[in-house]
Amino acid sequence: MSRYGSRIAALERHAERDRRAVEAGRAPTDPDDATTYLRAGAGQAIWLYVEARTGGRLVPFARAELEALEAAMNRWLECYARCYGVDLKAAFTVREAAELLLETRNIVDTAALLTCVPDRPHSHANG
């Protein structure tokens, strides 16, 4: 386990709670609420990956840690999409998201490019 193991586990638990709350109708799902799932959720997961991969020393993740980090990020992207009325089954890699985040410097743009939500005619996900 890497030094990020406990943070990753906490992110995964939080993301799963948020996803369940959204699916059960117990959490806000208005477009105005979408960025909350990005800034307090997916963005945190992506940034943890960036932090571990930069700064002079590459931190190796165990397979389970990487899978948990990606699961957390994807659950929050699903919550984000639901705020726009889109039922998305997200399966993005955290590396792909991190590269976009570093390019755009904006979690909202990163999420929109990954998910095509809200609908954008020429998004990264479509080629």
Q: Could you report the per-residue pLDDT of 31-59, keeping only the tens digit for each?
A: 999 999 999 999 999 999 999 998 777 88
Domain that holds residue 46: 5-126
- What is d(CA 102, CA 40) in angstroms, rounded to the nearest whole number? 17
Residue 3's identity, in one-letter code, is R
Give 122's pLDDT tier (boundaries 50, 70, 90). very low
Q: For the chain, give the mean pLDDT.
A: 92
Number of domains in the chain: 1
- What is d(CA 118, CA 110) in angstroms, rounded to the nearest whole number? 12
Give 120's pLDDT tier (boundaries 50, 70, 90). low
Q: pTM, whole model, 2 decimals?
A: 0.90
The number of residues in the chain equals 127
Q: Could you report the per-residue pLDDT of 59-90, keeping only the tens digit for each?
A: 889 999 999 999 999 999 999 999 999 999 99
**Predicted local confidence at residue 127, as pLDDT:** 39
64 compared with 121, residue with greater pLDDT:
64
